Amino acid sequence: MPAMTNRKLPSDKLIALGELMKKVAVDRDKTAFASLFDHYAPLIRAYSLAREPGSDLVADELVQEVMTRVWLKAAKYNPRLANLNTWIFTLARNCRIDYLRRNSRYVTEIDPTDIFNDMEDDGPGPFQLAQQTRAEESIRAGLEELPREQCEILTKVYLEGKSHQQASEELKLPLGTVKSRVRLALKKLEVLVER
């Protein structure tokens, strides 16, 4: 399990980052971009290292890919669709999927670009959710109260990028247990939509 800290990101910090983002999008401000880099590059590296511990080159490549997209797609970023942290997470995830596909031993022609959208204005199914910050705070609080084994499984899936099958092999648990643990964790975090 990668090291975790309970470092909180206060929402005024997020607002400040949002202001920098606006400067990048509107004024093509490189100083603002450098500040965004200073904040996000270490997190993107940590995300990459969670999947491939020790691979500094891979981590740097991911930083370069994600921050390149931030620069190029800045004008398309819509803070009402996703806050900046979520946008960076989806970009990092999408870049990692791309990287793994290009470097996989068994190639596939499936192009992930149109499968995972980068949460842009022209993406499919935009949902503008109010109270985004509140939702994020409640997820953050929920994660802290999650039983250890549920937190562990979410970490495996989200940060280490393990499939349910791989997680079941590593944790020596039946596949069904892995799936139900994920489901229980999501229920506790109250992120499952009622239907």
Partner 1 sequence: MDKPQNHPFGELLAAYSAGSLPLSQALCISAHLEHCDSCARQLQHLNRVGTELMQQLTPSKASDELKNRLLERLDSLEAETPRHESARVDSSIPRCLRQFVDSSYGGLRWKRISADIHSVELCRDSNGAKVELLKIKPGGSATTHTHLGDEYTVILEGSFSDESGLYRKGDFVVKDKNDKHTPVATRDSECICLAVTEGPIQFTGPISRLLNPLIRRSYA
The answer to whether 69 touches 118, Cβ cutoff 8 Å, is yes
Q: Select from 11, 78, 152, 158 the one that contacts partner 1 (CB under 8 A).
A: 158
Local structure of residue 193 (DSSP, 8 states): P
Subset of 134-153 contacting partner 1 (CB under 8 A): 135-136, 139-140, 143
Q: Select from 23, 79, 159, 177 the one that contacts partner 1 (CB under 8 A).
A: 159
CA–CA separation, 184 and 58 (whole Å): 33
Subset of 68-127 contacting partner 1 (CB under 8 A): 68, 71-72, 82-83, 85-86, 88-90, 92-94, 96-97, 101, 104-116, 124-125, 127
What distance, in Å, lies between the first and last C-alpha atoms of the chain?
A: 34
For the bound state, the minimum distance from the C-beta of residue 152 to partner 1, rounded and expressed in Å, comes to 11
42 binds partner 1 (CB under 8 A): yes
Cβ-based nearer residue to partner 1, 114 or 172:
114
129 to 82, 104, 114, 115, 133: CA distances (angstroms): 8, 36, 23, 22, 10
